[in-house]
Amino acid sequence: MNPILLAIIVVTVIGVIGAVILVAASILMYVPVDERVEQITGVLAGANCGACGCAGCADYAKSIVEDGAPVNKCTPGGAACAAAIAQIMGVEAGASVPMKAVVGCAGTCEKTSKKYEYAGLSSCQAVKGLYGGDGMCKYGCLGYGDCVAACPFDAIHVVDGVAKVDREKCVGCGACAAVCPNSVISIVPEHKRKPVVACQNKDKGADTRKVCSAGCIGCMKCAKACPKEAITVENNLAFINQEKCVGCQLCVKECPVGIIRVPGAISEAAPATV
């Protein structure tokens, strides 16, 4: 027999056998997939941001169908997304509270300064590795934009040395908070009246004032003014319990350095003289 023809026949037979094996394997090893997983994946925001606690949208959809995960954890999708998923699953959507990122630092270029000139990779993580960062305040925003690079919605930018959130674009996915080496960014429920503390400095008041004129001095005036006991001062730093807070804003008026403020407020109370 012609060697070339023989080679063709052998290759063809091997190909047919391989195809049969693959078909048999696909039938024997087939794992049924609930069509609802595909449907839910289709209505999710598609950001793969991880705010739901899963690796991505497809993983979250699978978790809803197979593990009974809540249907309202897609923060980019919001209430409309939760309602669509609830309809697919035949359950109640439940309340979907919008979440937003807030920056716990008010140390702009005017309020604080640098302790040395940094000339390396433009990254918060990189500068953090050199003596804890180049800022006079070791707790504040480093301002090199790791959060900006991480945000899939272009909702955060560095302005005057400090990260600033665009509240219209922010969906509360938490990507910015996850990469911040000083943990100055947190994700809180959206509220038009509830304030937050724009500082992370845990040093004593006198030491804080040496490095930043906008730092919390732990004076406890805010805690004393709060009628709901929603504010505590620990390690020289004020903390607001968002669940207890009713948005009366008495703390905003009492803060002598003006670092208790309502995110996104058009105007902020002017700080008293310290």
Which pair of structure tokens corresponds to residue 226?
A: 């709060």
- For the domain made up of 97-190, give the CATH fold: Alpha-Beta Plaits (3.30.70)
Residue ranges of the domains in the chain?
A: 36-89, 97-190, 191-274
Residue 270: the pLDDT is: 39
Q: Which residues pair with 101 in a beta bridge?
A: 187
Which pair of structure tokens corresponds to residue 30?
A: 């087939």
Residue 1: the pLDDT is: 64
pLDDT along the chain (274 residues), means of 10: 80 90 82 86 89 89 92 88 94 84 95 94 95 95 97 95 94 92 94 94 96 96 97 96 95 96 63 40
Burial class (CB in 10 A: 0-12, 13-18, 19+), 70: middle
Q: Find where tokens 């940094």 sit.
A: 118
Residue 274: the pLDDT is: 39
Residue 31: the pLDDT is: 67
Residue 133: the pLDDT is: 95
CATH code of 191-274, in short, is 3.30.70.20
| Strand pairing category for 185-189 and 99-103 | antiparallel
Distances (CA, A) of 40 to 46, 60, 89, 111, 153: 11, 9, 9, 48, 22
**Long-range contacts of the stretch 202-210 (C-beta < 8 A, 24+):** 202/139, 202/235, 202/236, 202/237, 203/139, 203/236, 204/236, 205/236, 208/137, 208/236, 209/274, 210/136
Tell me if domain 36-89 and domain 97-190 are identical in fold: no
**Long-range contacts of the stretch 67-74 (C-beta < 8 A, 24+):** 70/94, 72/96, 74/44, 74/45
- For the domain made up of 36-89, give the CATH fold: 3-methyladenine DNA Glycosylase II; Chain A, domain 3 (1.10.15)
Residue 79: the pLDDT is: 87
Residues 150, 48: Cα–Cα separation, whole Å:
12
Q: Give 134's Cβ-side CA count (13 Å radius).
A: 18
